[in-house]
Structure 1
């Protein structure tokens, strides 16, 4: 099975509420055993040397960053994180934390992956991959202290776009602060309390990845089983539905049309001077006049 695929693909049903509650009770109970059986220890932030594949991912960061720039060219079309995953609304409800999703617990965004082939290739090399997306943090955005629901996965941030004043852009996990460095990765356990600050006037972007925590057997089997059932929970089913709707709209609407409607200029677009704007208006009026004359001629000879 590909590392980019969950054991449960495209689930077409949701666990009943009572069974979902039982599932989350099992998750809570399993966490103590996972912490004791972890092959990489139980700590907030890990040494990258414990994960031999990280160096290869970092080597691909420049190619991934180039693909990111094409996505950032139309920021007004990207969803806020809470618009995809409703649970995130408990910590953020503005549009300053945006995402571009590739994978998420049983869901593959094939069109997004095809737009970013270097990113897709890099993801294939991550063992036990469960989630992957570009995480885009606007200037001044702060994510308050919170914790993830399950320590059976670990999180990687591959820094792709870091503000120049990077000391003011950081993540703090259980009191340990990490400052992102371009083209470098950090791995941490998001089940520990953590918070994020971008106290700069520039955007920060990371490739955000969740992957299976390496554990001793038989706990590793239990972890895989719980992760296999996760896509059937109502929360992840809703996130899948939300993303599919966004994806349909995103690829159905030309970028230029959306930019005009939202009055958002594309990145690196040339500045339009007042004189040029007047010329554009005159050109449009001239074209409208020609169309009107053509209609009149057609009617006269109809």
Structure 2
């Protein structure tokens, strides 16, 4: 294996330092799974979930044309290399899809209620999909899942975050810290879909300033730029001819 270069090592050292700050100065604590009452705006998201579900249903008519998540975000290839985890992306760390927003305007309007929104997509797990244990690359964000299409076989569809197993519910929000080890599975015979969101983790100064800087530098990293290009290539094919 090639040893990481000095640039990578310096960058990772900065991220490690920022993660320690985020843990120390967290404004909402550092639990693996958060209480929704911590975030008052969650109730507004849940109140309008059926509008999002209606737009999702239209997207799912062309489900087989959607890309595997690993085709958009290369980093997930270590845990998923098939098309049983599909995505429909609205925005991601500095970029947004005008076509996806146009196709799902109510979803986009509702997403604006989330403070510090950084990324959002429909995340689609086909029957039998199992993501092996992994953790996110940086603890400066929290992850939100809004259950949109959840199989009835509750015991076969779940996500484990640290030592806690959670089950999605349609119309209900789940907020967790993806910097903890987690895995997810759909062992049912139906498709599971959530609205998948990353938003800025609330922190106090100085962590808030460092986190703001790193998250605003993210669009310039090779990882995010590669994902942006892959997303644009897919959009060109999927939305070709629409509106003409």
Q: Same fold (TM over 0.5)?
A: yes
1:240 pairs with 2:195: no
- Which consecutive residues of structure 2, in runs of 5 or more, have no partner in the other structure? none
Q: How many residues of Structure 1 are paired with residues of Structure 2 in the alignment?
A: 238
Q: What is the CA deviation profile of residues 222-272 of structure 1, one whole-angstrom value per residue up to 9, with x for unaligned ones?
A: 100000001111111100000000001111167xxxxxxxxxxxxxxxxxx
Structure 2: distance between partners of 1:32 and 1:167: 36
Which residue matches 2:128? 140
Which residue matches 2:111? 123
> 2:23 aligned to 8, 17, 35, which one?
35
Structure 1: distance between partners of 2:198 and 2:9: 23
CA change 1:98–1:156 in 2 (3 A) is same
Structure 2: distance between partners of 1:148 and 1:122: 25
1:249 pairs with 2:200: no
Which residue matches 1:273? none
Structure 2: distance between partners of 1:125 and 1:167: 32
Counterpart secondary structure, 2:13: helix
Counterpart secondary structure, 1:235: helix
Which residue matches 2:75? 87
Counterpart secondary structure, 2:196: strand
Structure 1: distance between partners of 2:141 and 2:176: 10
**Contact residue 140 and residue 200 of structure 1 kept, 8 A:** yes
1:155 pairs with 2:143: yes
Q: Cα offset for 1:22?
A: 3.0
Which residue matches 1:177? 165
Runs of 4+, deviation exceeding 4 Å: 17-21
Which residue matches 1:47? 35
Counterpart secondary structure, 1:143: strand
- Which consecutive residues of structure 1, in runs of 5 or more, have no partner in the other structure? 1-16, 255-302
Counterpart secondary structure, 1:170: strand
Structure 1: distance between partners of 2:50 and 2:125: 19
Structure (1/2) with the larger strand percentage: 2
Between Structure 1 and Structure 2, whose CA radius of gyration is higher?
1
